[in-house]
Amino acid sequence: MIRPAGVALVLLALSGLARGDEVAVGATQVSSFMDAALDQPVGGLLFRGGIAMTAPDDRFGGLSGVAVTGPSQQLAFVSDRGNFVSGRLSYDDAGRLLGLIGVVVEPLLNSKGAPLPRQYARDAESVDTIYRDGQPYAVRVSFEHLTRVADFTLTDARPGGAAREVALPEWLSDLRTNQSLESVCVAPPASPVAGSTLLITEDAPDADGHHRGWMLGQADKGPFSYTAHPGTYPTDCAFLPNGDLLVLERGVSVLGFSMALRRVPADQVRPGNLLAGAILLSADGGAIDNMESLAVHTAPSGETRILIGSDNNFNDWQRSLLLEFALPE
């Protein structure tokens, strides 16, 4: 069930100094998920609410990855058409997600600081934040089709600037499909592989049929594999503060979309290992859409929450959802 909420409007005038264009985003609060009302259990999580977002600007959509970029609910999405969509989450007095405000859309740039020249190079799929001395200072973005990973500077919690390409193994950069590099996430300090970047392919199986992955790190570097829920494919990953890994999986059929969220224990996350874990949440039907983005953040109440978002593929019949869950204490 959904109920109207205030529309989040961005009213600041554009100027020549602005990095990107400001966009008005409307939001409708989501107050139930599957058979769960607010704060009720669903799978191994608690449903905390969500929003369905719309905007008159045709650049808003295709939100395929999300990362928290600042301490005051700032975040940034990447889109299928090569844009950053930055903003700040707002909450109502009950601590429910209310809207996305201060939204700015700006193109991802290449290493020379120019907009990406063609759609084949623009298909950004995942993003995570890199921290230095405990502070966010850059984001790491993965792309499919022209498979690569690049870093972008954070300024006032908004990513931008020229891309800084990240070296990848040849087998990974040689992939040239829309099912190549779908997930990127950076391990937190509590992880045994702290600071390392995990890359998980959507559909590039190894000899045993598992999803191939690669870990980038100083001490932790090399291949690993990931096993998904039958009928689904990994679309994003994120770490919990204790180092456990969350992986979002998405399935597509003639009946619609399905999703699963899996939790991999921290001590399993290492090069050379097969990553597998318990399913925290599975869903299908009208409660979800094309779920592709995942992030973990701290809500204004101080509670650790899991954000799961959908990519509407710029279709009018799909939704840009952002749903929030919490782990039971």
pLDDT in tens, 44-88: 999 999 999 999 999 999 999 999 999 999 999 999 999 999 999
In the chain, % of residues over pLDDT 70 = 94
* DSSP label at residue 25: B
- Token pair recorded at residue 265: 């224990």
Q: What is the pLDDT of residue 219?
A: 84
Helix, strand, coil percentages (3-state) for the chain, rounded to 5, are 5, 55, 40
User: 22 phi and psi, to 5 degrees?
Assistant: -85, 140
Number of domains making up the chain: 1
Average pLDDT, the chain: 92
Q: 141 forms bridges with which residues in the sheet?
A: 127, 150
Is 224 within the bounds of a domain? Answer: yes
Please determine, for residue 12, whether its predicted confidence score (pLDDT) is greater than 70. Answer: no
pLDDT digits 0-9 by tens, 124-170: 999 999 999 999 999 999 999 999 999 999 999 999 999 999 999 99
Q: What is the mean pLDDT of residues 173-199?
A: 94
Is 37 within the bounds of a domain? Answer: yes
Is 301 within the bounds of a domain? Answer: yes
Q: What is the mean pLDDT of residues 24-38?
A: 97
3 state SS of 79: strand
Q: What is the pLDDT of residue 19?
A: 61
CATH number (domain holding residue 141): 2.120.10
**Which domain, by its residues, includes 266?**
2-11+21-110+119-326
**226 near 247, Cβ under 8 Å?**
yes
- Give the Cα separation of 305 and 288 in Å (integer): 18
Please determine, for residue 8, whether its predicted confidence score (pLDDT) is greater than 50. Answer: no
**For the purposes of burial, counting CB atoms within 10 Å of the CB of 94, is it exposed (0-12), middle (13-18) or buried (19 or more)?**
exposed
**Pairing between strand 41-42 and 45-54?**
antiparallel
